Structure 1
Amino acid sequence: MANWNEPQRTERQGFGSASVPRTGDAAGRVTFDAGLRKHMLSIYNYMTSGVLLTGVVALLTAQSGLAASFASGPLMWLVALSPLAIVFAMSFGANRFSTGTLQIMFWAFAVLMGLSLSTIFLVYTGSSIAATFFATAGAFAGLSLFGYTTKKDLSAMGTFLVMGVIGLLIAMVINMFLQSSGLDLAISFIGVLIFAGLTAYDTQRLKREYMAVQGTQWAGKSIIMGALTLYLDFINMFLFLLRFMGSRE
């Protein structure tokens, strides 16, 4: 979701190896396409592994009875704020961290998110959580495929969607005081739409970014950061969709 690559964009514009092969250069095009597929597949593999790790940790934590410990008190704030701290650290410190360090931070983030999300098992039934997860996975796959294959430029959506996320956060804070069920329903609906759009937009952005990072030392880092971006899109879409599909305990 976040444009984590913005601070580094100026640095990478001059990479000579980032140019797209000319249309007539068939061999260059084949090599470029193969590299792009490998790059995107690596992003999807990391993202999927992170989501699965989060799911396994959440399920095991709930089954062990520890989820209740994270539903209130100091531990709730610890598991809620720690993933956010890691996201900010990765986003603003990606240039300073090595690829290995970013990998460790990504896996730590996935585990902490699992601890945090274990509390949803206290609110919703396991079957409805599973149904929502698979529905989200199907929607995510379709939206990401659209973003990858479409010829339409989705870049204009970026600013609009980021503004939508900011507005969504403000509305959620306001509703913490109003406790309006109608506003909560509207927030959930808009949240699903925003992160659905971000899934397609971010996929296209990551695909295009490969042109700037191929053959550079940033290539490995961009895979981890790209996986983090798509992970956040998936998890947020899942949580907002769960408000519609989830059956309460």
Structure 2
Amino acid sequence: MNNQEYIQTGTGLNKFYAKIYGFLALGIGISAIMAYAMTTVFLPVLATLFQSSLAFWMIWLVEIGLVLYLGAKAQKNPTIAIAGFVAYALLNGVTLSVTLLMYTGGTVAGAFLSAAATFGAMSLVGVFTKKDLSAVGHAAYSALIGIIIAMLLNMFLLHSNAVEFFISILMVLIFSGITAYDNQRIRQVYAQTGDQAGTGMAVFFALQLYLDFINLFLAFLRIFGKNN
């Protein structure tokens, strides 16, 4: 690869990252605004939803459906991918609002800043490291399955605050690894596809990073909440 090709590839990759992180910021912003609105302006509506477990199950199932759909179809129809991503961010803002009501404003702010710092640091690792993080990513995703099982057992059987606190710490470690891995994967995919990695692909990766950030935020929220 000559210098001109290298510069063009680097410029294209930077634009691709910028597009992904633009969508990521949009998603986080939409969720934050929706969560704030639900806990202030629309608090009576939230209270009604909170009293109906069926309503939250339906929202949760729709969110899962959107994630699966975006994973399968994002590249084929960028317009629908963007609409689906915005819809997911809105719905997730609703479900997050219930969690946020359980914590003080200081705890929420501390968790958000900690998640942002961790996410930013691990993103830089993923972008700039020359070490292959595939093993880290695969190990983190495997550990995530075990953690989900442990969370369900604790939720329905153990009801242990200590176990929940330990799980939250592990979640921070796991999603730190996944964040670095996902950022490196963006670079690898672009190296294989070049300018063919368009808006749909950017939305797909933005969703992955959005999930990484939200899970880091929720883990820190539980950690700081227990400390308080």
> TM-score, normalization: structure 1?
0.85
User: Cα RMSD over matched residues?
Assistant: 1.7
Look up the SS of the partner of 1:30 in the other structure: helix
- The 8 Å contact of residues 123 and 248 in structure 1, kept in 2 or not, is answered as no
Instruction: Please list the CA deviations of residues 120-173 of structure 1 after superposition, one character each: whole Å capped at 9, or x if unmatched.
Output: 232001221122112211111111011101111111112211111111111111
Greater mean alpha carbon deviation, residues 72-81 or residues 232-241:
72-81
Identity of aligned residues (%): 34
2:153 pairs, out of 174, 182, 187, with 174
Look up the SS of the partner of 2:103 in the other structure: coil
Look up the SS of the partner of 1:55 in the other structure: helix
Is 1:34–2:19 an aligned residue pair? no
CA distance in 1, matches of 2:224, 2:199: 37
Q: Which amino acid aligns with 1:94?
A: A
Query: CA offset at residue 247 of structure 1?
Result: 7.1
Alignment-derived partner of residue 119 in structure 2: 140
CA distance in 1, matches of 2:31, 2:215: 13
Q: Which amino acid aligns with 1:182?
A: A
Query: CA offset at residue 238 of structure 1?
Result: 0.5
Q: Which amino acid aligns with 1:52?
A: G
CA distance in 1, matches of 2:49, 2:179: 29
Query: CA offset at residue 248 of structure 1?
Result: 9.6
CA distance in 1, matches of 2:49, 2:177: 31
Query: CA offset at residue 63 of structure 1?
Result: 0.6
1:48 pairs, out of 25, 32, 39, with 25
Is 1:241–2:220 an aligned residue pair? yes
CA distance in 2, matches of 1:87, 1:145: 25
Is 1:200–2:180 an aligned residue pair? yes
> Unpaired runs of 5+ in structure 1?
1-21
Change in 2 beyond 3 A, CA 1:185/1:240:
same
Q: Which amino acid aligns with 1:243?
A: R
Greater mean alpha carbon deviation, residues 86-95 or residues 188-197:
86-95
How many corresponding residue pairs? 224
Instruction: Please list the CA deviations of residues 189-209 of structure 1 after superposition, one character each: whole Å capped at 9, or x if unmatched.
Output: 111110011111110111111
CA distance in 2, matches of 1:148, 1:225: 17
Query: CA offset at residue 219 of structure 1?
Result: 2.2
Look up the SS of the partner of 1:214 in the other structure: helix
Q: Which amino acid aligns with 1:157?
A: V
Change in 2 beyond 3 A, CA 1:62/1:247:
farther
Q: Which 4+ stretches in 1 moved above 6 angstroms?
A: none
Q: Which amino acid aligns with 1:79?
A: I
Change in 2 beyond 3 A, CA 1:32/1:246:
same
> TM-score, normalization: structure 2?
0.92
Look up the SS of the partner of 1:159 in the other structure: helix
Is 1:154–2:133 an aligned residue pair? yes
Is 1:129–2:127 an aligned residue pair? no
Alignment-derived partner of residue 215 in structure 1: 195
Instruction: Please list the CA deviations of residues 28-50 of structure 1 after superposition, one character each: whole Å capped at 9, or x if unmatched.
Output: 11111000000011101111110
- The 8 Å contact of residues 128 and 247 in structure 1, kept in 2 or not, is answered as no
1:58 pairs, out of 35, 43, 64, with 35
CA distance in 2, matches of 1:56, 1:246: 22
